Structure 1
Amino acid sequence: MANGFCTRGLLLFLIYIDPFKSTASYSSSDATNLHAMLFNQSSYNKNVIPNDTLRIKVRYNLQYVNSLDIKTQTLSTTGIFTVEWYDDRLKWSRGYENIPHIYVPEDQVWLPDLFVLNSIHESGNSLGADRPVMISKSGKLVWNPIAMLSTSCFTIVVLFPFDSQYCKIELATIPIQSYGMFLDFLPQPVNLAIYKKQGDWEVEEHLHFESWLELEEGWIPQLMFGLFLKRRFPGHYIMIVMFPTILTALLTFVTFFLPIKSGARIGYILTVVLALVFLLTLFADAMPSSTEYPSVLVAVFSVTLGMAFLLIIITIFVKSLYNKPKHIISPNWMHALVRKLRKLKCKARKVNSLEQHRAIEDGRSTAVKDNVKNTSPLKPYSNKELAEFFDCLLFVVYTVLYILILFIIIPILAVVWYFKAPYEK
């Protein structure tokens, strides 16, 4: 009897849960009837805004930072926008509890008229390409349009190639008169769950904020998705741009170690200048150009080229002084300058050592030696002696000037340019 009681109880339990099993399972016929009820049998019109007050929530799911063109100041990205809103006309409850949501083509329902405000292409009417829209039974619609964007991005290249950039994606909607349409963020407005690194740039940080833009037609709500981008491979520019230029710049100093009488001096420095010009031409495509404040690297290139041209002038001056005939005496200011700077330890220094040696050999006192200096007639230096002295002096001046410009003036200019550059907010 106990076994019979258990059997009857089990049958009654199965009969009891069977209706729930049927209502909880998905049925294609029910889905077909639900589509017909929502779009064919009702008065639904996709050209009519769902509610008087509509709040559209958006999230940007970034997938790739394809490129950031410094010259054209254009950011190329690939991602997906997640857009949510509610439409009370697309709710269902009784009879279709077993269907939590359905999918319909995007051209079958009302869609918010979203566009990217800072896109460099013509403004389109919508994002994505025939992406389905998910409709939940509560009336919530979720749309995931694919966004392959090319947006304008103001770049600051003072620290190129060690620079970081801040770019924005400005999402807006067309204002609709007598309707309250608002844009808002979904939780985690910039989602990096599907983000993958590629190209020269990577996302370092991100931010988001809301704003309004006033037009003649009304106020446009905007959502700002900000990306802080960092250059991934500055070593590439170090090897192909900076390193060859630094080596070529160092070759300019070799000019001073060549003999003055050698005719190879002027030919050597001209060859170095041509090499610098060739390098600058070769690197022109890699250097940023369309910017208000130039890169420090461009300033270094300009200084290096300018100093090389200055060295050509120095070489011609020293060479002409060295080859000047003996009967032509150089201007007095040259002799006076040499006498004032004769204490410099320079290999080309010639400072009337004959009188000093004689005074020392005769055992005369310091006062007598000073008297000899003051009373003896000053013998003018020869042109070759002057050329050697000025070659040494100009080497010191050239080196000090180069170091002063590269390590003091240019860093100061870089700091001024960096903080004076108008950052986009």
Structure 2
Amino acid sequence: MNAIVIYLIISTCGLALGQTPQQVSSLITDLLSNYNKKVRPVVDQSMPVTLDISFNLISIIGVDEVNEKLETSGYLSIMWNDAMVTWDPVTNSDIYRIFLPQGDIWKPDLVLGNGFKKFEELGGHFYYIDIDYTGSIFWQPFQVFETHCSMDTTYFPYDKEVCEIVFVVWSYSVNEVEIRKSDDGIDLSAYEESGVWEIIQTDVKVSKSSIDSKVTFSIHIKRKPLYYVLNVIVPILFLGMLTILVFVLPVDAGEKMSYAMTVFLSFAVFLTIINTQLPVSSDSTSILSIYLLLQMSMGVLVLVITALQIRLHHRDETVPMPRVFKIMVNLDNCIRCTKSCQSSKSGSISPTMNTENQPKADQEALEEKPWDNTKVDWKDVTSAIDFLAFWIFLILYVALTIYLFISIAT
């Protein structure tokens, strides 16, 4: 008996609180019978419709540095009040909310202000709008947004970009439809982390003019550099070191030129491979691109010096040696400390040599050109070139590399 009573109570309450399709259909018919979606839904037409807009970012699909394009997926949360679709739930079977296709009632003509594609309405025919009995409208159009984003790749791969997603009320003036930013701003609760970019900050700004009203969602992103450091920068550093090691090989080995050419070609082939991974922009040149250009220039210079070395190494000893080569050999001796600088400068002049009987012109020549009296051969010249070029290029390489990392990482 008690079970029957409980069942009757639950059944009665369910009938009282539930709504049948006919009741919901009747309410929708009554609401839309005199509804004109071409008219702004305010009682006083001199007052604007206020839109509360927030942006829910789902993911950063990609960033195209060449075309300066940001591709994201997400949806807008748009709220406004429609005075033409209000009802009393008590007299309408306790119906507090209904859902209608977005094309059945008035909605703002928001467009993507900085998009790549043609203007098109947000959402689609299969989207529904949530309507509360007080006339509060809640609309969430989802879309993949392709927007213009100015790129500054100077500090690639440690670059930071600021991309904007702008929405504009296209037809109505600010006196008719007014945008107000939501307290939520850009909601990242459903955001899926990108493997290339990291969001470091988000901003929302509402701009109003005499013509229109727009809201700008700014996304501050930073590139994750680990992939490019391991696959681009580190191999370049290794190839740069191999280029300098050309001057360690003696000319007599016979492999000096072939080694230099092999390293240079390897560097060129590697640059061709990684060229597709580097951003291309005519407005800004990355420091890494300048570094690569300098490395290539160093490689060309190494080839030229190596070719000249081989030419000098096999020159006949009877050929007069220019003074600059003798200075280079003596400088090499001074740096290596293999000979005394004083003895190098004195050359063949002996402290016990009697120069009083020599002609005055010869004495002046010996005093003014001590380098010319040093006995050196062409092998000494090529050895000096190897030593001096190695340290010059090593210092230059280290300085450029330190400058590269300090510039792009700060």
Identity of aligned residues (%): 22
Letter in 1 for 2:78: V
Deviation at 1:404, TM superposition (A): 2.9
Q: Which residue of 2 aligns with 1:317?
A: 308
- Which deviates the most, 83-92 or 169-178? 169-178
CA 1:239 to 1:337, structure 2 compared with 1: closer, same or farther past 3 Å? closer
Deviation at 1:338, TM superposition (A): 3.9
Letter in 2 for 1:227: I
Q: Which residue of 2 aligns with 1:38?
A: 31
Q: Which residue of 2 aligns with 1:307?
A: 298
Structure-2 separation of matches of 1:348 and 1:385:
13
Structure-2 separation of matches of 1:205 and 1:128:
30
Q: In structure 1, which of residues 76, 81, 89 is the aligned counterpart of residue 76 of structure 2?
A: 81
C-alpha contact (below 8 Å) 2:332/2:387 kept by paired residues: no
Query: 3-state SS of the aligned residue for 2:212?
Result: strand
Deviation at 1:208, TM superposition (A): 0.8
C-alpha offsets along residues 270-299 of structure 1, whole Å, 9 cap, x if unaligned?
A: 111111110110001100012522222222
Q: In structure 2, which of residues 22, 41, 44 is the aligned counterpart of residue 29 of structure 1?
A: 22
Q: Which residue of 2 aligns with 1:392?
A: 387
Q: Is 2:202 the partner of 1:210?
A: no
Deviation at 1:20, TM superposition (A): 8.9
Structure-1 separation of matches of 2:380 and 2:101:
92
Letter in 2 for 1:264: E
Query: 3-state SS of the aligned residue for 2:137?
Result: strand
C-alpha contact (below 8 Å) 1:348/1:389 kept by paired residues: no
Structure-2 separation of matches of 1:122 and 1:63:
22
C-alpha offsets along residues 120-140 of structure 1, whole Å, 9 cap, x if unaligned?
A: 111113335521011111111
Structure-2 separation of matches of 1:304 and 1:349:
36
TM-score, normalising length: structure 2: 0.83
C-alpha contact (below 8 Å) 1:115/1:127 kept by paired residues: no
C-alpha contact (below 8 Å) 1:129/1:145 kept by paired residues: no
Letter in 2 for 1:403: V
C-alpha contact (below 8 Å) 2:101/2:128 kept by paired residues: yes
Query: 3-state SS of the aligned residue for 2:335?
Result: coil
Q: In structure 1, which of residues 183, 187, 193 is the aligned counterpart of residue 189 of structure 2?
A: 193
Q: In structure 1, which of residues 145, 160, 167 is the aligned counterpart of residue 163 of structure 2?
A: 167
Q: In structure 2, which of residues 40, 52, 59 is the aligned counterpart of residue 49 of structure 1?
A: 40
- Which deviates the most, 192-201 or 272-281? 192-201
Q: In structure 1, which of residues 133, 146, 149 is the aligned counterpart of residue 145 of structure 2?
A: 149
Structure-2 separation of matches of 1:396 and 1:354:
23
Q: Is 2:221 the partner of 1:225?
A: no
Structure-1 separation of matches of 2:173 and 2:190:
37
Q: In structure 1, which of residues 98, 120, 123 is the aligned counterpart of residue 119 of structure 2?
A: 123
C-alpha contact (below 8 Å) 2:58/2:74 kept by paired residues: yes
Letter in 2 for 1:59: S
Q: Which residue of 1 aligns with 2:234?
A: 243
Q: Which residue of 1 aligns with 2:252?
A: 261
- Which deviates the most, 333-342 or 271-280? 333-342
Structure-1 separation of matches of 2:337 and 2:111:
72
Deviation at 1:346, TM superposition (A): 6.4
Structure-2 separation of matches of 1:392 and 1:349:
17
Query: 3-state SS of the aligned residue for 1:330?
Result: coil
C-alpha contact (below 8 Å) 1:66/1:199 kept by paired residues: no
Structure-1 separation of matches of 2:388 and 2:189:
64
Q: Is 2:50 the partner of 1:58?
A: no
Query: 3-state SS of the aligned residue for 2:205?
Result: strand
Structure-2 separation of matches of 1:349 and 1:160:
49
C-alpha offsets along residues 365-404 of structure 1, whole Å, 9 cap, x if unaligned?
A: xxxxxxxx96999244222222222221222222222233
Give structure 1 stretches of 5+ with no counterpart.
Answer: 1-10, 363-372, 419-425
Deviation at 1:186, TM superposition (A): 2.1
User: How many correspondences in the alignment?
Assistant: 384
Deviation at 1:149, TM superposition (A): 0.8
Letter in 2 for 1:237: Y
Query: 3-state SS of the aligned residue for 2:292?
Result: helix
Query: 3-state SS of the aligned residue for 1:45?
Result: coil
Structure-1 separation of matches of 2:384 and 2:329:
7
Q: Which residue of 1 aligns with 2:322?
A: 331
Deviation at 1:75, TM superposition (A): 1.3
Deviation at 1:329, TM superposition (A): 1.1
Deviation at 1:199, TM superposition (A): 3.8
**After the TM superposition, which residues 174-185 of structure 1 pair with which residues of structure 2 at under 5 Å, given as runs?**
174-176=170-172, 179-185=175-181
Query: 3-state SS of the aligned residue for 1:402?
Result: helix
Q: Is 2:378 the partner of 1:383?
A: yes
Deviation at 1:74, TM superposition (A): 1.5
**After the TM superposition, which residues 5-16 of structure 1 pair with which residues of structure 2 at under 5 Å, given as runs?**
none
C-alpha offsets along residues 299-330 of structure 1, whole Å, 9 cap, x if unaligned?
A: 22111111111111111222222211111012
CA 1:178 to 1:404, structure 2 compared with 1: closer, same or farther past 3 Å? closer
Moved over 3 A (4+): 18-25, 336-342, 346-360, 373-377, 410-415
Q: Which residue of 2 aligns with 1:284?
A: 275
Structure-1 separation of matches of 2:161 and 2:60:
13
Deviation at 1:407, TM superposition (A): 2.4
**After the TM superposition, which residues 413-424 of structure 1 pair with which residues of structure 2 at under 5 Å, given as runs?**
none
C-alpha contact (below 8 Å) 2:103/2:125 kept by paired residues: no
CA-atom RMSD, angstroms? 3.4
Deviation at 1:411, TM superposition (A): 6.0
Query: 3-state SS of the aligned residue for 1:155?
Result: coil
Letter in 2 for 1:99: I
Query: 3-state SS of the aligned residue for 1:190?
Result: strand
